[in-house]
Structure 1
Amino acid sequence: MSTTLPSFPYAQQAQIIRSNQRDLFHVSSLREQTENVVRAWLGSRWLSRWDKEIDLLVKVAYYGLTVGRATQTLGEEYTAIWQQSSRTELWPSGRIRAALILLPTVPGYLAEKFAPSLSQGSVSHRVLRTLPTVLEVLAELNLAIFYLRGTYYTLVKRLLGIRYISSMPDNPNSRPPSYSLLGVLLLFRLTYRFISYVRMLRTSDRTNAARKEVTDDTQETFVDDRPISIMLSQTHPEEKPAIPAEEDELTILDVAQIPEELRASRSCTLCLEERTASCATECGHMFCWDCIYGWGREKAECPLCRQSLSLAKLLPVYNL
């Protein structure tokens, strides 16, 4: 009596897409809950400063506890699909699973984290600045191929040779949906994006050549009698040391003469300290200038009421 191992069909495109959407939903929900906990414990300013690290930690935790432990993600479990190595036709090895977790998350984080700290014009700075754009284009190209062929949904899975099998048998009486049209539209979009990029490079080269003929490279530019080079080299607002309210030069109040019970109402909800360089948002909430500026660079919404936030419309307040 001979026994054979059961064979499973390859997962359909719809199953893979629904699985990915489900995983994105759970990762987003987990991050939101994590941010709520961190905001309650450490404050919104700390959350804004370490936003990228929290995003990385949430993704690594979610996929580490699923893919890292050789189990299905919640999305894969929902659609009844399993990962399989196209080379060995088995479950991915430990090294492959580690790569599946780290490759989609760590390179993008490193590029966003360390690119601003590198010297302008250096090779490392240019590489890290262009890395997110290159990865985005490659991901869109891979997605277009997936819509046409239906094999590898992400670029990392294509590089590692990871595809999906389904525990649900094929139904010979039904025809799976086709996403070929989406693939063709994505290819048209990438083509248009490439043509626009080439035109932008040509325009930039002509503009730079014209500027070199008119201006002197050694000439300094000033804004309100302040050199541009000094303004660009200023310390990041979130890295400035906190100053006492009594030493705040951007308020006309004598803070030392204000009663303690009234000074308690002048606290900033981002740094949880007494406001300095007070400013108001369009929705009427007040914060320290450095706090709300650092927050607005990461999220264009008020940290209290979630209304839209424009840094250009912040209103300095000198008498509150």
Structure 2
Amino acid sequence: MSAAQLRHANQLEIIRSEEKDRYMISLLSQQLDELYTKLFGLDHFHIYQSYLHRLSELLYFLTTTLLGRQTIGEEYVCLIQYDPAKKQIPSLFHRVSMVFLRVFGDLISKYLLSSLIIRPLAEEYFHPKLSSQTLELLLNFVLTFVERTHKLFFYLTGSYYDLSKTLTGIRYLIYTRSTAESTSIENKLTRTMKILCLCLCSQHLVESYHQLKQIAVSISQHRQELTRANDNKEKKIISDDSTSATIVSVQCPLCYEPADSNVALVPECGHVFCWQCIHTWVAENQTCPLCKTNTMQSRIIHLINY
């Protein structure tokens, strides 16, 4: 007879629970999107869609975690939230903190990083007047680097999948029966996760290198623009007999900033956006923000010398 016991959930069990929760949140988000379009139409819908997704995520955890219940994903895998410091179910304060950080943590971290760290350091060591595009690239690099590094530690240790749970110290327990077969599967899983972690680490380094290269290009281009502006002492005037290259600004419909050097094209419909804006949008929606034509990240085209 095998002995029943509580143990910490492994990586696959936590991922299955998270995937189920994300699926349920996406269904709730779709319902809120349809409700908004029926009430207010499609005007400015792309501006408020991200807020509707946060609202759906907040409502989902409000009716589950904050009420002391399992989420659908946790119930599906039979996971139990656990506070290892006090060796008990997380308190209401811990659960409220975890949900708040999960829903609004990225906004808080963006504001703090941008205003207190990235902007002062960038202006001191790179240039006194960096473009908003360069600052956005620096901010996204730092956030992405932290998130990917955290995921690597999760695949390696299986402790915390989400940063909100890391900061609040909430782990998962699962009730199982220990057998020789389950022990063997656990050992194989550990080896597999180490291999996966090695692959993800290589991918992480390559993508970080490309992001840093893009930041360096953006800084260089902005320095050249500021140098030309100082030499001319006036605003640039586009004329037919100008000997310099003509620069036509393209305004991104999402952030309303010029996308001179990072223009991205959605090939299915021909609309153009900032490279970072359209990638962030398509990662969540897989549609064009303007006409809702289906697309995906791999099909977006980076326009050079547009």
- The TM-score with structure 2 as length reference comes to 0.64
Partner secondary structure for residue 57 of structure 1: helix
Judged with a 3 Å threshold, the aligned counterparts in structure 2 of structure 1 residues 307 and 207 are, in CA distance, closer, same or farther, namely closer
Question: Could you tell me whether the CA contact under 8 Å between 1:52 and 1:109 is conserved in 2?
Answer: no
1:172 maps to 180
Letter in 2 for 1:53: Y
Look up the match of 1:148. Answer: 156
Match runs of 1:9-20 below 5 Å: 9-20=7-18
Query: What displacement does 1:82 show?
Result: 0.8
Q: Once the 2 structures are TM-superposed, how far is the Cα of residue 304 of structure 1 from its aligned partner?
A: 7.0
Question: Residue in 1 aligned with 2:237?
Answer: 222
2:42 is the counterpart of 1:44? yes
* Residues 1:214 and 1:54: Cα distance change in structure 2 (over 3 Å): closer
Which structure 1 residue ranges, 5 or more long, are not aligned? Answer: 1-5, 226-230, 240-281, 284-294, 311-320
Give the superposition deviation at 1:170.
Answer: 3.1
Q: Which residue of the partner structure matches residue 228 of structure 1? A: none
1:57: how far off? 0.7
Give the Å deviation of 1:109.
4.0
Equivalent residues in 2 for 1:265-280, closer than 5 Å: none
Mark the CA change 1:161 to 1:127 in structure 2 (over 3 Å): closer, same or farther: farther
Q: CA RMSD in A?
A: 4.6
Distance in 1 (CA, whole Å) between partners of 2:213 and 2:143 is 21
CA-CA distance at 1:191 after TM superposition:
2.1
1:111–1:132 Cα contact (<8 Å) kept? no
Letter of the aligned partner of 1:66 in structure 2? T
Summarize deviations over 1:182-202 as a string: whole Å, max 9, x none.
Answer: 211221222223434454555
Which of these two proteins has the greater Rg computed from alpha carbons?
1
The count of aligned residue pairs is 249
The residue number in structure 2 matching 1:301 is: 288
Aligned to 2:197: 183
2:303 corresponding residue in structure 1: none
Q: CA deviation at 1:138?
A: 1.3
Of 97, 105, 125 in structure 1, the residue corresponding to residue 95 of structure 2 is 97
Alignment check: 8 A CA contact 2:8 2:174 kept: yes
Tell whether 2:94 aligns with 1:79: no
Counterpart Cα distance in 2 of 1:196 and 1:16:
30
> Residue 51 and residue 212 in structure 1: after superposition, are their counterparts in 2 closer, same or farther (change >3 A)?
closer
Bigger mean CA offset, 9-18 vs 74-83: 9-18
With the length of structure 1 as denominator, give the TM-score of the two structures. Answer: 0.62
- Does the aligned pair in 1 maintain the 2:5–2:178 contact within 8 Å? no
- % identical aligned pairs: 21
Unaligned runs of 5+ in 2: 122-131, 241-247, 257-267, 270-277, 301-306
- Residues 31 and 114 (structure 1 numbering): CA distance in 2 closer, same or farther, change over 3 Å? farther
Matched residues in 1 for 2:222 and 2:44: separation? 41
More helix by share: 2
